[in-house]
Structure 1
Amino acid sequence: MTHRLSEKQGRRFLAPIPSRKLASCNRGKPGSEMGASQIHPLLRDRAAGLSPEAVRLLDEASGAMADGELVRAEAALAAVLALAPDAVEALRLSGQLQQLRGNYAQAVAILRRALAKDPRDALAHISLGVALQSQGENEAALSALQRACELAPDFAPAWFNLGRMFQLQGRPAGAITALHRALDIDPDHLAARLVLASAQTGLGAEAPAAANYREVLRRQSGHPEAWSGLAGLDTERFGKDDVAQLQRALQMPQPAPLARIRLGFALARALEDQADYHAAFRALRKANAWRRRQLNWNAAGMRARADAMLAAFAEPLAGAADAALGEQVIFLMALPHAGVGLTRQILAAHPYVGGVDESPDLQRVIGDESARRGQPLLQWVGSATPADWARLGQDYLARTGHWRRGLPRFIDANRLNWRVVGVALAMLPGARVVHCRRDALETCFACYRQLFASGHDFSYDLDDIASYWRDHERLGRHWQRLFPQRFLEHDYEALLADPETQVRRLLAFCGLEVDPACLGFQHEPTQARTALRTRQPWLREPALAARYGAELDRLRLLLGVR
């Protein structure tokens, strides 16, 4: 017996793995993954050859998965596979179910069994790509998704997933190409349009990004992700109509708390563009309070961790014996909005800098060593030998080798670097640390104005922000005292006041010759330079604190500034 899925059932069978990082299909307009009222051929006859009872159980499983009832779905799939062990769709859904449970290795194994039965099943390739990405096998995931596009070149979700995968890998040009293909097939694919706008933003193409966000809002006027993306564009200006739309959206029931938070931050930005700073701050305070209630930030705990790090590194450790080990690495230490973006832009323009990276490899090396020893970091640092540190340094260099592309320097700008500078320089004595600093009030308020995608849990309460800033500052002063030759204070305001002097100072510290491309991006790049090095003005953080006047008096008091 063959069974043609209804449109609703087709969406369920295609239902994306609800992965945090990679969705499988559009979450927008119902039916938009087909791009028309007709079911895509890929979704037809998914139960071909099964008995009526197996088809009923398969429908029950797909419906249960769509409703989040995983136990019921698992029982139904087990019953299908008992009746038909080679049922590809049952295997595919079983792989998706394990993906939902977080059993990524098991999901991959089951999906590979499904593809062994039918190597041309594009849906199974999509599901496999999702599972592989969740397991950290990005290149294999990319290959699976490319194969899905080859098998189903007119299927928008295949191109969407491929574009999303390129974007996750930091390859926005590839993402843009794939996402345009998805939208050519299905202009209503809102998820593809949102990821496309994000990729365009990453390449500095803010005008087309704004157009795509606006197109999403034309179709769904209260779409929180579109408003949030639009608010993140420096060149976009909100009007009174935008304020009214956002206020209406905030009065409507929202599907999730994060949706209301996104709208709240966007409203603050829109009011700011109307120069209504009192109302903007009120909106900011509400949105930050909503976000703060979702988190479990403990300022006292962070302060205690900083104290423990200061105690553990009261003096430099006996690190790796090779003083040149890690000379390729430039660690950037900074709070968000403290000028780190401009510093990265300057360094990335240099032809001898091989990559700009925010990878967690340093944290992973430390975490893996802690797991191996069965002790947290601060319990084993005192007993680590120079040979241990050298081994860890070599491990870090091996993990980050693909970013350097054989060039003399590499930037590591992970947001947690400031906490572990002592560890990094024990592992890599030849590395350099650039501490990017900016006016305290501007830095802290900029953090308060931003809804971060992840991390930075300290940033949703003014008291927490001020406490975190103090911890960051005292650790920075300590690292500078311990490592005066490897640590540079790089001041944002001084850079803007005298760019040439400060850029020359930065490059000299990093062991780089002065290159015209680094001096304000006034010269055309060579053909060999990447998109990151295209000619553009310096990206500068706006100075906004003064406009808010007395609204920031409490933050001024907490920071001890006027």
Structure 2
Amino acid sequence: MSSPSIEQCQRNRAEPCLDGLAPAAVQQLQAAAQAIREGVEGAARQALDTVLAMTPEHPEALRLYGILHTRAQRHDEARAMLQRAIAQWPDYALAHSDLGNVQQAAGELDDAFASWRQACALAPESAMPWFNLGRNLQQQGDTGAAIDALRQVHALAPDFLPALILLGDALVHAGRFDDADARYREALALHPACGDAWRGLANMKTRPLSGIDREQLATALRRTDIDPPDRIAMGFALGKAYEDQCQYEQAFAALNTANAQLRELATWHAGAFHAHVDAMLAASAGLPTPADATLGHEVIFIVGLPRSGSTLFEQILATHPEVEGASELPDLEQVLGEESTRRRQPLLQWIGGASADDWQRLGQRYLQRTARWRRTRPRHTDKLPSNWLLTGVLAAMLPGARIVDARRTALEAGWSCYKQQFYRLPHFACTLTDIAAYIRDYERVMAQWQAADPRRIRIQRYEALLAEPEHEIRALLAFCGLPFDPACLHYDRATRSVRTASAAQVRRPLQRDTARAGHYGALLDPLRFGLGIPTIK
């Protein structure tokens, strides 16, 4: 969420961002803000330089310069500009809030939260600092505090849709599904075609959408003034509504349309990904022997396909008193990205030349970045499914970590992916044939690394857990080096925040009737064919 516009500043004189400016300078600031929103850096610079020439060190011009640098990922320059703005106006809440955004982007989380809290203290009646605080508390897994902050936003700005949606999401993650439902529907009362609200309702998997919901979705989708992201989210929700009403052909048609529209935004290229997988396998094959084979023993990675039970396996592990469930962390990719930036080379170009000391340094950097997840428990999970592609790298970087490969029957997992809207684009799940190709690449990579070191990787099958829960849970804990704890058998009673689309599903006992692909018959033959499964036609 960007900071308030110049127009908002003019309406809210509690933020004196235009004090001391001539009308011409105000016009230049408005032009700069518009250029920043549109991503036109040259025009933004020109307008801000004009303002600063007219009124040197004006805090609002410096703040907007800070936002400009932040969007270009020039963190040092952004921090310097915002600190100059705060030096002029120490009580300028928006500048403190934006400084928090820069500090977060630079990985300085403690400083970022201090800045956001300072902004809230300086302007307790301003919604945006509370929103920044709540949004980031939610991202860091502090769901209870996030709910408190977002309720404050809602009280100050009842019609602010992003806060309503994020509050609904936080309530889902906390397991408060009735409250979440009410917030999403409050958002729909304000904007019936709010895709994020429909997405939130649809992602509460255990709560069926009603026939009335289906009709409201169908009616809203006939509008011609809906932005593509809203239309796509509503299309996925409509697919769920039809499935919940056992109208499977209509569900498939709605999901097919939504996936086609999503694919138009960014097209996945299965052939290019296959080549990338081959390159990663080759580059990771000859990495040096780790200097410390125990480095990373604190971490349990859970990888695999989305919608394959990974959240359930994490919930079981996080119920253990020695394990913190951290959900889908970006830190592994970010550490490798930092190293690529430092070397000025993409990952594939430097992997083969990195020494054992380099990998140990990177492993220690990952542990430093994730230390907050081990403040009260000695170990944590990292459940980003796509980390399967980095399994070979982890052998050198964090050799002591355990890797749980979450497996579900490929047809069910693939179909479940097709029904789920993913926001990281391009994504493999927009066509059934791309899903099959992705599954084949994933399975061959994991088969190679699991055969090379089965002590490091466990294939944990969802269906095996359904068949023999206690046996599988005991085996999973033993693989992770954890003593058996009976609480893990009752994972559904855990009160932790769950920040994935499976948040509702893992809060109830095991369900043995989760298979859905059979309802769709020959409609799924492209997926069956790609997976080498006999087709129905």
TM above 0.5, yes or no, is yes
Q: Which position in structure 2 is the counterpart of 1:168?
A: 139
> For 1:366-415, what per-residue CA distance to the aligned partner results, in whole angstroms no more than 9, with x for missing partners?
44445555665555555555444444433333333332226443222222
Residue of structure 2 equivalent to 1:193: 164
Helix, strand or coil: the match of 2:14? Answer: helix
Aligned letter for 1:290? Q
Given the alignment, which residue of 510, 530, 553 partners 2:525?
553
1:320 aligns with 290
Alpha-carbon distance in 2 for matches of 1:85, 1:431: 53
After TM superposition, give the deviation of residue 539 of structure 1 in Å. 6.8
CA distance in 2, matches of 1:98, 1:558: 46
- Distance (whole Å) between structure 2 residues aligned to residue 138 and residue 418 of structure 1: 27
Pair 25,441 (structure 1): closer, same or farther in 2 beyond 3 Å: farther
Contact 2:193 2:230 in 1 (8 A): no
1:319 touches 1:429 (CA, 8 Å); kept in 2?
no
Query: How far apart, in 2, do the equivalents of 1:429 and 1:24 lie?
Result: 42
CA distance in 2: counterparts of 1:187 and 1:496, whole angstroms: 44
TM-score when normalising by structure 1: 0.85
Which residue of the partner structure matches residue 448 of structure 2?
478
In 2, are the aligned partners of 1:362 and 1:396 still within 8 Å (CA)? yes
Q: Distance in 2 between matches of 1:373 and 1:62?
A: 34
2:483 counterpart residue number: 513
Among candidates 280, 303, 306, match of residue 333 of structure 1: 303
Amino acid at match of 1:360: P
Question: What's the offset of the Cα at 1:221?
Answer: 1.0
Per-residue deviation, 1:65: 5.3
Cα gap change, 1:283/1:41 in structure 2, threshold over 3 Å: closer, same or farther? same
SS in 1 for 2:490: coil
Whose radius of gyration is greater, 1 or 2? 1
Report the residue type matching 1:397 in the other structure.
L
- Matched-pair contact (CA < 8 Å) for 1:23–1:130: no
Q: Deviations over 1:244-273 (max 9, x none)?
A: 222222222345322221121111111212
- The answer to whether the 8 Å contact 1:434/1:489 transfers is yes
2:86 maps to: 115
| Larger deviation, residues 140-149 vs 468-477 | 140-149
Task: Give yes or no for contact 2:268–2:426 (8 Å, CA) kept in 1.
Answer: no
Q: Given that residues 235 and 258 in structure 2 are in contact (C-alpha distance below 8 angstroms), is that contact kept between their aligned partners in structure 1? A: yes
What amino acid is aligned across from residue 146 of structure 2 in structure 1?
A: A
Aligned counterpart, 1:492: 462
Is 1:520–1:537's contact at 8 Å kept on the other side of the alignment? no
Mark the CA change 1:486 to 1:89 in structure 2 (over 3 Å): closer, same or farther: closer
User: Distance in 1 between the 2:241 and 2:64 partners?
Assistant: 43
The DSSP-based 3-state class of the residue aligned with 1:178 is helix
Verify the 8 A CA contact 2:266 2:426 in the aligned structure 1.
no
Aligned residue among 362, 367, 389 for 1:397: 367
- Which residue in the other structure is 1:306 paired with? 277
CA distance in structure 1 between the partners assigned to 2:245 and 2:156 by the alignment = 39
| Whole-angstrom CA distance in 1 between matches of 2:94 and 2:360 | 46
Structure 1 pair 355–154 and aligned structure 2 pair: CA distance change class (3 A): same
Q: Does 1:266 align with 2:237?
A: yes
Larger CA deviation: 208-217 vs 385-394 = 385-394
User: How much has 1:237 moved relative to structure 2?
Assistant: 2.3
Alignment of 1:380-419 (within 5 A): 381=351, 384-405=354-375, 407-419=377-389
Matched residue, 2:219: 248
Question: Unaligned 5+ residue runs, structure 1?
Answer: 1-21
Cα distance in 2 between the residues matched to 1:383 and 1:413:
28
Distance across 1 between alignment mates of 2:484 and 2:134? 37
Aligned equivalents of 1:322, 1:96: Cα separation in 2: 42
Partner SS, residue 42 of structure 1: coil
Which residue of structure 2 aligns with residue 14 of structure 1?
none
Partner in structure 2 of residue 543 of structure 1: 515
Question: CA offsets, 1:11-51, max 9 Å, x none?
Answer: xxxxxxxxxxx34359xxxx9x89xxx944425x6433333
Q: 2:138 is paired with a residue of what secondary structure? A: helix
Q: Structure 2 counterpart of 1:428, which letter?
A: L
What CA deviation, in whole Å up to 9, does each residue of 1:188-214 have, x standing for no partner? 222211110111112222221111000
Contact persistence 1:328–1:410 (CA under 8 A): yes
Question: Deviation of residue 483 (structure 1)?
Answer: 0.4
The equivalent of 1:462 in structure 2 is: 432
CA separation of 1:456/1:340 partners in 2, compared to 1, >3 Å: closer, same or farther?
Answer: farther
The AA in structure 1 aligned to 2:112 is A
Does residue 421 of the first structure (1) align with residue 400 of the second (2)? no
After superposition, the Cα gap between the structure-2 partners of 1:155 and 1:375, relative to the gap in structure 1 and judged at 3 Å, is closer
| 8 Å CA contact 2:202, 2:237 repeated in 1 | yes
Task: Render the CA deviation track for 1:421-467: whole Å, top value 9, x for unaligned.
Answer: 22212333332222111111000001111111225711111111000
Answer yes or no: is the 8 Å Cα contact 1:342–1:539 preserved in 2.
no
Question: Would you say the 8 A contact 2:262–2:430 is kept in 1?
Answer: yes
CA separation of 1:445 and 1:113: change in aligned 2, threshold 3 A: same
- Name the SS for the 1:336 alignment partner: coil
| 1:233 and 2:212 aligned | no
Alpha-carbon distance in structure 2 between the residues aligned to 1:532 and 1:287: 26
Counterparts of 2:395 and 2:199, CA distance in 1: 38
Query: For structure 1, which segment, 229-238 or 507-516, has the greater mean C-alpha deviation from structure 2 after superposition?
Result: 229-238
CA contact (8 A) 2:316 2:488 kept: yes
Going from structure 1 to structure 2, the CA distance change for 1:216 and 1:334 (only over 3 Å counts) comes to same
Distance 1:550 1:308, change over 3 A: same
Give the Cα–Cα distance (whole angstroms) in 2 for the partners of residues 450 and 413 of structure 1: 18
User: Where in structure 2 are there 5+ consecutive unaligned residues?
Assistant: none
Q: CA deviation at 1:216?
A: 0.5
Q: Distance in 2 between matches of 1:164 and 1:333?
A: 26
Instruction: Name the counterpart of 2:58.
Output: 87
Q: Check conservation: 2:236, 2:254, Cα contact below 8 A.
A: yes
Instruction: Identify the residue that residue 452 of structure 1 maps to in structure 2.
Output: 422
Please give the per-residue CA displacement for 1:216-239, whole angstroms capped at 9, x wherever unaligned.
101111111111111111233222
Matches within 5 A, 1:205-216: 205-216=176-187
Q: Which range moved further: 422-431 or 275-284?
A: 422-431
Percent of matched pairs sharing the same residue: 45
- CA-atom RMSD, angstroms? 3.0
Distance in 2, Cα, partners of 1:501 & 1:39 = 63
Q: How does 1:99-138 map to 2 (within 5 A)?
A: 99-138=70-109
Deviation at 1:101, TM superposition (A): 4.7
Q: What secondary structure sits across from 1:434 in the alignment?
A: strand
Distance in structure 1 (CA, Å) of the matches to 2:171 and 2:467? 31
CA distance 1:386–1:257, shift in 2 (3 Å): same
Range with bigger deviation, 165-174 or 490-499: 165-174
Greater mean alpha carbon deviation, residues 238-247 or residues 368-377: 368-377
The answer to whether the 8 A contact 2:301-2:402 is kept is yes
Maintained 8 Å contact 1:25/1:160 = no
- Report Cα offsets for 1:57-77 as digits up to 9, x if no partner: 445545665676654444333
**The residue matched to 1:416 in structure 2 has which SS?**
helix
Q: Indicate if the aligned counterparts of 2:403 and 2:458 stay in contact, CA closer than 8 A.
A: yes
Give the aligned residue type for 1:353. Answer: V
In 2, distance between residues paired with 1:369 and 1:62?
Answer: 33
Which has the higher relative contact order, 1 or 2, with Cα contacts under 8 A spaced 6 or more apart?
A: 2
| Structure 1 residues 160 and 217: alpha-carbon distance in aligned structure 2, compared to 1, 3 A threshold | same
Paired AA for residue 170 in structure 1: G
